[in-house]
Amino acid sequence: MIKIAITKGRIEKQVCQLLQSRGYDMDPIIHKDRELLIETNDGLSMIFGKANDVLTFLEHGIVDIGFVGQDTLDESDFHDYYDMLDLNIGKCYFAVAAYPEYKTKEFHRRKRIASKYTKVAKEYFNSKQEDVEIIKLEGSVELGPVVGLSDAIVDIVETGSTLKANGLEVIEKISDISTKMIVNKVSLKFKKDEIFKMIDRLNGEE
């Protein structure tokens, strides 16, 4: 049996649809109610959790495979996994965003940057050799500039409509995000054939 953790929320449905389109029996998932662990008829055991918890389950060997966004991987300090496949879904990107005047404004103090992804934000501004103050927000990060808490934000942009609705714009794109299939290193040793079979199926090669 292959044990899988799928990130709940936005990408959950797309991952399940992809598995279904590649011939996996997703009926037990489609008809699930509030259950968090489901076993399918073709030997998959699936749990659904918050993005960071998917990494925790994989790190502790509870699951063999995780389906998780690159954003979560970028923000995490855990790197001891194999990044096996880009599913090409859940596509969006990290960007610095602010009011248009940010580009021409002169700052006589450290800029304040709000983000849910403080590690990504820190690394980005470090790479620019800019010393900024990073302020952690848990969500609705666009509020940072709107309420005057920060000069800019580092956040996920998909359609850009949240930025637009709040008068903000992309100042600079940082990096692309999509959903990845990651694998526990020990699992790849002991369940190599099953895992590669799944990769082939997801690649449409079987």
Ligand X SMILES: O=P(O)(O)OC[C@H]1O[C@H](OP(=O)(O)OP(=O)(O)O)[C@H](O)[C@@H]1O
Ligand Y SMILES: Nc1ncnc2c1ncn2[C@@H]1O[C@H](COP(=O)(O)OP(=O)(O)OP(=O)(O)O)[C@@H](O)[C@H]1O
Residues contributing to the site for ligand Y (CB under 6 A): 7, 9-11, 50-51, 69, 71-72, 90, 92, 139, 156, 158, 177
With contacts defined by CB under 6 A, name the span among 13-21, 73-81, 155-163, 186-194 that binds ligand X.
155-163
Q: Is 119 helix (H, G, I), strand (E, B) or coil?
A: helix
Closest residue to ligand Y in the complex (CB): 69
**Residues comprising the chain, all counted:** 206
Binding of residue 162 to ligand X (CB under 6 A) = yes
Phi and psi at residue 183, in whole multiples of 5°? -130, 140
By CB under 6 A, the residues from 1 to 30 that bind ligand X are none
Q: How many CA atoms lie within 13 A of 144 on its CB side?
A: 28
Tell me the CA distances in angstroms from 27 to 20, 42, 87, 182, one per residue in order: 9, 11, 21, 24
Please give the DSSP secondary-structure letter assigned to residue 106.
Answer: P
Binding of residue 96 to ligand X (CB under 6 A) = no
Q: Which is nearer to ligand X, 104 or 159 (CB)?
A: 159
Question: Tokens at residue 35, please?
Answer: 């259950």
Binding of residue 95 to ligand X (CB under 6 A) = no
Q: How far is CA 8 from the centre of its chain?
A: 11
Q: Which is nearer to ligand X, 63 or 157 (CB)?
A: 157
Q: For residues 125 and 132, is the Cβ–Cβ distance under 8 A?
A: yes
Q: How far is the CB of 158 from ligand X (least distance, A)?
A: 3
Q: Which is nearer to ligand X, 142 or 151 (CB)?
A: 142
Binding site for ligand X (CB under 6 A): 139-142, 155-162
